[in-house]
A and B are shown apart, each in its own frame.
Chain A
Amino acid sequence: MRAPGRKMTEQSKLRRLQDLISGYAPLPGIPDEFIGSDNIPRAHWMRFLDALTNLTPEDIENRFAAADRHIHDTGVSYRAHGEASEQAWPLSHVPLLIGEDEWRQIETGVEQRVRLLEHTLADIYGEGRLVKDGVLPAAAVTGSPDFLHALHGVKPPGGKFLQFYAVDLGRAPDGRWWVLGDRTQAPSGSGYALANRLVMSRAFPALYRDMNVERLAPFFQAFRSGLAAIATRSDPRICLLSPGPLSDTYFEQAYLARYLGFLLVEGGDLTMRDGQVHVRTIAGLKRADVLWRRIDSDFADPLELNASSRLGVPGLVEALRDGGVVVANALGSGVLETPALMSFMPSICKHVFGEALALPNIATWWCGQKRARAEVLEGFDGMAIAGAFGNSVLDLPPGQSIIGASLDAARKARLVEQITDRGIDFVGQEVVHLSTTPVWVDGRLTPRPFVLRVYAAATADGWKIMPGGFARISDQNDARAVSMGEGVQAADVWVLADKPVVVTTLLPTDDNIRIRRIMGNLPSRAADNLFWLGRYLERAEATLRLVRCLTGRLLNSDARSEAQDLAGLKGLLGASGAAPFKQALLMPPMRLTATALHSKDDFGSALSLVLDAQRAASFIRERLSLDTWLLIGSLQERLDVDVEAPLSESGAYEQADSALRVLAAISGLAQENMNRVAGWRFLEAGRRIERGINACRLARNFARAASPAEDLDILLDLVDSQISYRSRYLMGVALRPVQDIVLLDPYNPRSLAFQIERLKEHLESLPILNDDGMLEAPRRLMVKLAADVAVAEAGKLRTDMILGYEQTLMALADAIAVRYFLQGPHAVHADKMSGLA
Chain B
Amino acid sequence: MIYDIRHLTTYEYASAVTFSHCALRLLPIDGPGQRLLQSRLAIDPVPAEMEERTCFFGNRVTSVTINTSHRELKIEARSSVEVNRTAPAAGRSLNSWEDTREAAFSNDNLSPNSPSHFLHPSRFVPRFRPATDYARQSFSPQRLVLQSAIELMNRIRDDFRYDPKSTVVSTPLSEAFEKRRGVCQDFAHIMIAGLRGLGLPAAYISGYLRTIPPKGKPRLEGADASHAWVSLWCGREMGWVGLDPTNAILIGDDHIILARGRDYSDISPVAGIILGSGEQEVDVKVDVIPRV
Per the bound structure, the CA–CA distance linking A391 and B106 in Å amounts to 20
The reply to whether B283 and A834 form a contact with Cβ atoms under 8 Å apart is: yes
Any B CB within 8 A of the CB of A510: no
For window 299-356 of A, CB contacts with B under 8 Å fall at: 302-304, 306-307, 314-315, 318, 321
Any B CB within 8 A of the CB of A421: yes
| Closest Cβ neighbor of A388 among chain B residues | B120
The reply to whether A830 and B270 form a contact with Cβ atoms under 8 Å apart is: yes
Any A CB within 8 A of the CB of B177: no
| Closest Cβ neighbor of B49 among chain A residues | A274
The one of B184, B197, B274 in contact with A836, judged by C-beta atoms closer than 8 angstroms, is B184
Q: Mark A364-384, 1 if CB is under 8 A from B, else 0.
A: 000011100000000000000
The reply to whether A424 and B199 form a contact with Cβ atoms under 8 Å apart is: yes
The one of B23, B114, B119, B185 in contact with A303, judged by C-beta atoms closer than 8 angstroms, is B23
| B residues contacting the other copy or chain, number (CB 8 A) | 64
| Closest Cβ neighbor of B56 among chain A residues | A149
The one of A423, A825, A831 in contact with B169, judged by C-beta atoms closer than 8 angstroms, is A831
The reply to whether A138 and B108 form a contact with Cβ atoms under 8 Å apart is: yes
Any A CB within 8 A of the CB of B123: yes
Chain A neighbourhood of B127, CB < 8 A: 391
Task: Quote the shortest CB–CB distance from A390 to chain B (angstroms).
Answer: 12
Any A CB within 8 A of the CB of B134: no
Q: A142-B117, A314-B21 are in contact. Are A835 and B225 (CB under 8 A)?
A: yes
Q: A131-B108, A139-B116, A149-B117 are in contact. Are A826 and B273 (CB under 8 A)?
A: yes
Chain B neighbourhood of A303, CB < 8 A: 21, 23, 271-273
Per the bound structure, the CA–CA distance linking A131 and B55 in Å amounts to 21
Task: Quote the shortest CB–CB distance from B127 to chain A (angstroms).
Answer: 7
The reply to whether A826 and B277 form a contact with Cβ atoms under 8 Å apart is: yes
| Closest Cβ neighbor of A135 among chain B residues | B108
Which of B121, B227, B246: most chain A CB closer than 10 A?
B121
Task: Quote the shortest CB–CB distance from A125 to chain B (angstroms).
Answer: 10
Q: A150-B56, A836-B225 are in contact. Are A830 and B116 (CB under 8 A)?
A: no
The reply to whether B105 and A137 form a contact with Cβ atoms under 8 Å apart is: yes
Per the bound structure, the CA–CA distance linking A72 and B185 in Å amounts to 55
Chain A neighbourhood of B268, CB < 8 A: 830, 833
Any B CB within 8 A of the CB of A832: yes
Chain B neighbourhood of A131, CB < 8 A: 108-110
The reply to whether A837 and B225 form a contact with Cβ atoms under 8 Å apart is: yes
For window 260-281 of B, CB contacts with A under 8 Å fall at: 265-266, 268-277, 280-281
Q: A137-B108, A138-B116 are in contact. Are A837 and B209 (CB under 8 A)?
A: yes
For window 217-263 of B, CB contacts with A under 8 Å fall at: 225-228, 246
Any A CB within 8 A of the CB of B156: no
Q: Mark B95-132, 1 if CB is under 8 A from A, else 0.
A: 00000001011111111001011011101000100001
The one of B11, B119, B265, B270 in contact with A143, judged by C-beta atoms closer than 8 angstroms, is B119
| Closest Cβ neighbor of B129 among chain A residues | A418
Any B CB within 8 A of the CB of A6: no
Per the bound structure, the CA–CA distance linking A828 and B22 in Å amounts to 9
Any A CB within 8 A of the CB of B198: yes
Per the bound structure, the CA–CA distance linking A281 and B202 in Å amounts to 46
Per the bound structure, the CA–CA distance linking A831 and B270 in Å amounts to 11
Chain A neighbourhood of B56, CB < 8 A: 149-150, 152-153
For window 778-837 of A, CB contacts with B under 8 Å fall at: 823, 825-837
Any A CB within 8 A of the CB of B286: yes
| Closest Cβ neighbor of B48 among chain A residues | A274
Any B CB within 8 A of the CB of A646: no
Task: Quote the shortest CB–CB distance from B225 to chain A (angstroms).
Answer: 4
The reply to whether A830 and B169 form a contact with Cβ atoms under 8 Å apart is: yes
| Closest Cβ neighbor of A139 among chain B residues | B116
The reply to whether B271 and A142 form a contact with Cβ atoms under 8 Å apart is: no
Per the bound structure, the CA–CA distance linking A647 and B284 in Å amounts to 62
Any B CB within 8 A of the CB of A399: no
The reply to whether B102 and A370 form a contact with Cβ atoms under 8 Å apart is: yes
The one of B184, B276, B284 in contact with A834, judged by C-beta atoms closer than 8 angstroms, is B284
Per the bound structure, the CA–CA distance linking A369 and B101 in Å amounts to 11
For window 647-703 of A, CB contacts with B under 8 Å fall at: none
Any B CB within 8 A of the CB of A134: yes
Q: A303-B271, A830-B169 are in contact. Are A132 and B119 (CB under 8 A)?
A: no
The reply to whether A835 and B226 form a contact with Cβ atoms under 8 Å apart is: yes
Chain B neighbourhood of A304, CB < 8 A: 23
Per the bound structure, the CA–CA distance linking A304 and B56 in Å amounts to 12
Task: Quote the shortest CB–CB distance from A284 to chain B (angstroms).
Answer: 15
Per the bound structure, the CA–CA distance linking A422 and B283 in Å amounts to 41
Chain B neighbourhood of A149, CB < 8 A: 55-57, 117, 266
| Closest Cβ neighbor of B102 among chain A residues | A370
| Closest Cβ neighbor of B53 among chain A residues | A321
Any B CB within 8 A of the CB of A128: yes
| Closest Cβ neighbor of A136 among chain B residues | B108
Q: A828-B274, A835-B286, A836-B185 are in contact. Are A421 and B199 (CB under 8 A)?
A: yes
Task: Quote the shortest CB–CB distance from A428 to chain B (angstroms).
Answer: 16
The one of A318, A421, A828 in contact with B280, judged by C-beta atoms closer than 8 angstroms, is A828
Chain A neighbourhood of B132, CB < 8 A: 421
Task: Quote the shortest CB–CB distance from A545 to chain B (angstroms).
Answer: 35
Any A CB within 8 A of the CB of B27: no
The one of B55, B116, B183, B285 in contact with A141, judged by C-beta atoms closer than 8 angstroms, is B116
The reply to whether A837 and B117 form a contact with Cβ atoms under 8 Å apart is: no
Per the bound structure, the CA–CA distance linking A51 and B21 in Å amounts to 64
Chain A neighbourhood of B121, CB < 8 A: 391
The reply to whether A143 and B120 form a contact with Cβ atoms under 8 Å apart is: yes
For window 57-114 of B, CB contacts with A under 8 Å fall at: 57, 63, 102, 104-111, 114
Task: Quote the shortest CB–CB distance from B159 to chain A (angstroms).
Answer: 19
The reply to whether B271 and A307 form a contact with Cβ atoms under 8 Å apart is: yes
Per the bound structure, the CA–CA distance linking A249 and B95 in Å amounts to 51
The reply to whether A826 and B119 form a contact with Cβ atoms under 8 Å apart is: no
| Closest Cβ neighbor of A273 among chain B residues | B65
Chain A neighbourhood of B284, CB < 8 A: 833-835
The reply to whether B227 and A832 form a contact with Cβ atoms under 8 Å apart is: no
Any A CB within 8 A of the CB of B168: yes
The reply to whether A139 and B109 form a contact with Cβ atoms under 8 Å apart is: no
Q: A152-B56, A833-B282 are in contact. Are A138 and B110 (CB under 8 A)?
A: yes
Per the bound structure, the CA–CA distance linking A141 and B115 in Å amounts to 12
Chain B neighbourhood of A389, CB < 8 A: 120
Which of A124, A318, A837: most chain B CB closer than 10 A?
A837
Per the bound structure, the CA–CA distance linking A823 and B123 in Å amounts to 29
The reply to whether B105 and A141 form a contact with Cβ atoms under 8 Å apart is: no
Per the bound structure, the CA–CA distance linking A369 and B225 in Å amounts to 42
The reply to whether B119 and A825 form a contact with Cβ atoms under 8 Å apart is: no
Chain B neighbourhood of A827, CB < 8 A: 272-273
Per the bound structure, the CA–CA distance linking A79 and B151 in Å amounts to 51
Chain A neighbourhood of B272, CB < 8 A: 303, 827-828
Name 26 A/B residue pairs within 8 A (Cβ), A-sorted. A137-B108, A137-B116, A139-B105, A139-B119, A141-B116, A153-B56, A307-B265, A370-B102, A422-B197, A423-B199, A424-B199, A825-B19, A826-B277, A827-B272, A828-B272, A828-B274, A830-B269, A831-B169, A833-B168, A835-B284, A835-B285, A836-B169, A836-B185, A836-B226, A837-B184, A837-B227
Given A128-B109, A139-B104, 20 other A-B contacts at CB below 8 A?
A124-B110, A131-B110, A132-B109, A137-B105, A139-B105, A274-B49, A303-B23, A303-B272, A303-B273, A304-B23, A307-B271, A314-B21, A424-B105, A823-B275, A826-B275, A833-B168, A833-B268, A835-B284, A836-B185, A836-B225
Pairs A-B, 8 closest by C-beta atoms? A138-B116, A837-B225, A835-B284, A149-B56, A128-B110, A314-B273, A825-B273, A142-B116
